[in-house]
Amino acid sequence: MARPRTFDEDRAVDAAMRLFWTSGYEATSTQDLCAATGLGRSSIYNTFSSKRDLFDRALRRYMERSTEAQLEVIHSDDLPVRERVRRILWAAVDPDPEDPAGCLVVNTLVELGPTDTEVIDLLDRDHARKTEALTTAIRAAQAAGEVDPGHDASALADYVFVVLSGLRVAARRGTPRAAQLAVAEAALRTF
């Protein structure tokens, strides 16, 4: 008879997520995961099967939270689209101080993107969900006279997420908040 688990699997995934967010996939050792999660090697491998499995679960957890928060803002039809974009960008300019700097998705794109098609497919699908939702919101704003109808709505949506990614890289680099704020404000002038 198997012994029952004596730990919270969700907490372990959250702890691993923060570690991968801070250190990246390759630089995170199994021993680092043991220290971060409070689990022994055998518990990690019995529960998650591999470092990669734990990473995949942590990345998916991060994307679920991040994407759902962004989609909630995008779908806030009671707000002008410019305010929705501002809120998305400000999440990078003024992140939760308890979170590691940057973005696990952007870090993963940079680290694993050139070699890991499975991860890139996952990240591309997630990105498409967000850009399609923002494109729809921008088109509605164009129809309502909020945004110049001469702009390509899809290109504007891509632009917002490229700026957001750049802000997250800048944060990880330690760029001062004032410089990040100036970039976000410049992007908002498009709307």
Q: What is the pLDDT of residues 108-133, one digit of tens each?
A: 999 998 899 999 999 999 999 999 99
Superfamily of domain 58-188: Tetracycline Repressor, domain 2 (1.10.357.10)
pLDDT at 7: 62
Q: What percent of the chain has pLDDT over 70?
A: 96
| Dist. CA 156–CA 139, nearest whole Å | 10
Orientation angle between helical segments 81-93 and 153-173, nearest 10 degrees = 20
Locate the domains of the chain by residue range.
58-188
Report pTM: 0.90
How many helices and strands in the chain, by DSSP H and E?
9, 0
| Dist. CA 165–CA 103, nearest whole Å | 8
Q: Euclidean distance between the first and final Cα of the chain, in Å? A: 62
pLDDT at 6: 53
Q: Is the pLDDT of residue 105 over 70?
A: yes
